[in-house]
Amino acid sequence: MRLINKAAGMMVALAVCVGGAATDGVARAAVQPNNVSAQDKQFFDDAYSINAGEIRLGHLAEQRGTTAAVKNFAHRMVSDHTSSLDASKLVAAKAHLAMPSAVDAATQKLYEHLSARSGSAFDSDYLQAMVLGHEKAVRTFEHEATAGHNPGIKAFATTELPMLRDHLAFARQAQQEEHTGVAEPQRPY
């Protein structure tokens, strides 16, 4: 009887590890290793580049930004995208997906471009990159949320979408303020 109870406990623990719940705001859905499509894998490669790129660019903007709005936005990018990257690593581990070790070529090229800028030119280019980057990120995560194959990976994409949409709205607002020099009313979030 003791052996049966021990075996049952091990089965429950194994079920939690393999199909268990992710933490840090990721929806509790089963991530099944056998149900990861090529699309799901591509999404993880893209999500890594998005998150790692935003973190790297955010650190750069914290150093080179000339306005409080750019520096504050950059700090938020680092914080939020670090949390998102950490959550994606948990989901990837449960799905037996290897995360990339480097950002994509376009993200690297953008980093090099922004590294060569300074002053208001940096601020302007950084904010433009944030608008374009978050438009692409929202499309990428929306596509996975609606057309992905693995329920846990789809749940991760769905969970991260509100943050990405907020970032896009904030980047657009900051860019508008930068162009007009007039601050619009702040959103309460």
Q: What is the tens place of the pLDDT at every residue in 10-25? A: 333 333 333 333 344 4
- The arithmetic mean of pLDDT across residues 30-55, rounded, is 85
Catalogue all structural domains in the chain, each as residue range(s) with its CATH number: 2-180 (1.20.1260.10)
pLDDT in tens, 108-119: 999 999 999 999
CA distances from 71 to 46, 60, 74, 75 (A): 25, 9, 5, 6
Instruction: Report the mean per-residue pLDDT for the chain.
Output: 82
Total-model pTM: 0.77
| Cβ atoms of residues 164 and 138 within 8 Å | yes
29 in Cβ contact with 40 (< 8 Å): no
